Amino acid sequence: MRTRSIRKPKSLNTRQAALTALFAVCASSLLPSISAQSDGDIPELDGIWDGGFSARPVNGENVPWGEDNFPVLNERALAYQEVWEEIMAPKYDCQPASSPAIQYDPYHMKVTQWPDRVLLRYEKDDQLRTVWLDGREAKATDFGVQGFSTGYYEDGSLYVTTTHFVFDVAGFDDYNGIPSSSQKVVTERYWIEEGELRMTLTLEDPMFLREPASYTTRWLPAREGYRLQPYDCDPEAARASVRFYPSKYD
């Protein structure tokens, strides 16, 4: 009669060590940009930040854009401006704002930092942007209103680049009748200074702009216990308000 040899189970410590090693290999391959960074590179952006009227001037036709930084438009953009009227704005169909407008809208924003991504949750339009830190690249299916964002940490700042926007007839802002195209590229730098969240944003769009345009803004810490409020855009109510804007083509 043949005798079976009984294999002794590995000890718990040995299993744990093997699993730890496997996890480390997977993490280093999935998150190359994170593993190479020191703690000094990564700012503490986590939390809810107040971008309301106490933090900055009210946005409008000349805010945050003014004489010194208003975008230089090409003929295509000027032609769109010529035919623009308020009733065309997609916001009246509850389409959310996108960059570079949503960052300046007077609402709160929540920042959540994970090892492989940063989540930017906007109170305005209930929008969520994901900034990928793991080196992934955009696919053809990643076009959207908020585009596709990748980022990295360096010298205490978060740097973000966003591409893959869809065409938006009011993609520049809610006030100037300037569209944006799928060639739009938005770069942002976020950092903490004097207890405030600061950001510089730069916009490029060769379809409509002759040169890049840029602005800098800030958020203040939200009051203790504050939670993001639902935006709850009602398409029927939003479109109803358009009747107060007479068309110049009537």
Please list the pLDDT of the chain residue by residue as tens digits (250 residues): 444 444 444 444 555 555 445 444 444 444 444 445 666 799 999 999 999 999 999 999 999 999 999 999 999 999 999 999 988 899 999 999 999 999 999 999 999 999 999 999 999 999 999 999 999 999 999 999 999 999 999 999 999 999 999 999 999 998 999 999 999 999 999 999 999 999 999 999 999 999 999 999 999 999 999 999 999 999 888 888 788 788 888 7
In a domain, 9, yes or no: no
In a domain, 23, yes or no: no
CATH, residue 155: 2.40.128.20
User: In a 10 Å sphere around its CB, with 0-12 CB exposed, 13-18 middle and 19+ buried, how is residue 197 labelled?
Assistant: buried
In a domain, 218, yes or no: yes
Residue 246: the pLDDT is 80
| Parent domain of 84 | 41-227
In a domain, 238, yes or no: no
Helix (H, G, I), strand (E, B) or coil at 122: strand
In a domain, 34, yes or no: no
In a domain, 30, yes or no: no
CB atoms within 10 A of CB 117: 16
Q: Are β-strands 213-221 and 47-50 bridged in parallel, bridged antiparallel, or unpaired? A: antiparallel
Residue 33: the pLDDT is 46
Question: CA 160 to CA 38: how far, in whole Å?
Answer: 18
Residue 77: the pLDDT is 97
In a domain, 103, yes or no: yes
| Pair of tokens at residue 64 | 């945050």
Question: CA 111 to CA 160: how far, in whole Å?
Answer: 13
CA dihedral 168, 144, 110, 96 (to 10 degrees): 40
In a domain, 111, yes or no: yes
Question: Are the C-beta atoms of 170 and 176 separated by less than 8 Å?
Answer: no
Question: CA 220 to CA 106: how far, in whole Å?
Answer: 12
Residue 36: the pLDDT is 53
How many domains, in total, are found in the chain?
A: 1
pTM for the model: 0.84
Residue 87: the pLDDT is 87
Contacts of residue 226, defined as CB under 8 A and 6 or more positions apart, other chains included, come to 48, 50, 108
